[in-house]
Amino acid sequence: MCMMVDAFVTYLRYERNYSEETIQNYQCDLRQVEKFLLESSDSDSLDWENVQGVDINEWVAYLMDNGYMSSTVRIKLSSLRSFFKYLLRREAVHKDPMQCVVAPKKSKKLPVFLREREIDQLLDEVSDDAGFETIRDHLIIQFFYMTGVRVSELLNLKDVDVDFFRKSIRVLGKRNKERDIPFGEELSSVMSAYLSVRDGLLKDGKPMYFFVRPNGDRMTYSQVLKIVRFWLSKVSSLKKRSPHVLRHTFATAMMNNGADIAAVQALLGHESLATTQIYTHTTFEELKKVYNQAHPRS
């Protein structure tokens, strides 16, 4: 390794008091880029003053082509930026090539969602002799999947927010923004059955909130989370089993069945269309799987 890198490592160890693990990571990143730059040139030694932004960009392209995650490449570039700042402060170089380097965009994780067969299995009818909590819990699962609401929106829902005539619910989303979400005959029927059982149980008057505990009190986030995890564990091996998985499942089902992205944005209450666009990637991934499974020359 060149003397400049050695000096930088000494600086990190004794002046910055970095941990040995962090120093080793810096060394590894700098050794890697140094090796690449030397192999790309005709020289036996590397002059950091002559390194250009285009050289670093080529290294970035090399890393990406060899399967490195964009997050890993960004960390390596961070090591290189720190190194060039060090060289500039000590006037070992007179320009910073990192200003011309384009870092790869952060990769977005695709949302986790249930398959159609899992949803069909999950939404099987509850037996007629089921108790209040079973009927309520099953409705909660259906409600998340059929409306795409957030947990907070479900918890704060009141009877007056449900319009059975128009078949729509009004929810209060982020930043206190209201939106109306339509629902179909199936959900309407299940909600009506739930209200009949709920109001028969609570004979002292209607509760303030739509979804309640047996004593009429509003449900808590932890209770809803426990319910969703229990029901999803019956049909799915997903590690993540949260209410948001059902929200993702709602959006993915809408997109896969031809819904306009702007309509899905409105239903979910997203402020930015960019947030909703993740579901177009999910849809494309599904198409790729179908193609790979079905095409004889895939």
Q: Per-residue DSSP letters for 7-38?
A: HHHHIIIIIS---HHHHHHHHHHHHHHHHHHH
Per-residue pLDDT at 71:
85
Taking a C-beta distance cutoff of 8 angstroms, is the pair 266, 147 a contact? no
Q: DSSP of 53-97, one letter per residue? A: HHHHHHHHHHHHHTT--HHHHHHHHHHHHHHHHHHHHTTS-SS-G
Could you say which residues of the chain have pLDDT below 50? 1, 298
Question: Distance between terminal CA atoms of the chain?
Answer: 45
Positive/negative CA dihedral, 84, 89, 92, 96: positive
Number of other CB atoms surrounding residue 180 within 10 Å: 13
Per-residue pLDDT at 28:
93
Which of 196, 248, 229 lies closest to 122, judged by CA? 229
Residue labelled with tokens 């050794």: 31
> What confidence tens digit (pLDDT) does each residue in 12-27 have?
999 989 999 999 999 9
Per-residue pLDDT at 66:
80
pTM over the 0.85 mark = no
Per-residue pLDDT at 281:
65
The DSSP secondary-structure symbol of 178 reads E
What are the structure tokens assigned to 52, written together?
């250009």
Active site residues: 150, 174, 244, 247, 270, 279
Per-residue pLDDT at 1:
45
Q: What are phi and psi of 169, to 5 degrees?
A: -120, 150
Q: Which residues of 86-119 are buried (b: 16+ CB within 10 A; e: fewer)?
A: bbeeeeebeeebbeebeebeeeeeebbbbeeebb
Per-residue pLDDT at 102:
83
Beta strands in 157-295 (DSSP E): 162-163, 168-172, 178-182
Question: How far is the C-alpha of 252 from the C-alpha of 82, rounded, in Å?
Answer: 42
What are the structure tokens assigned to 86, written together?
């060090």
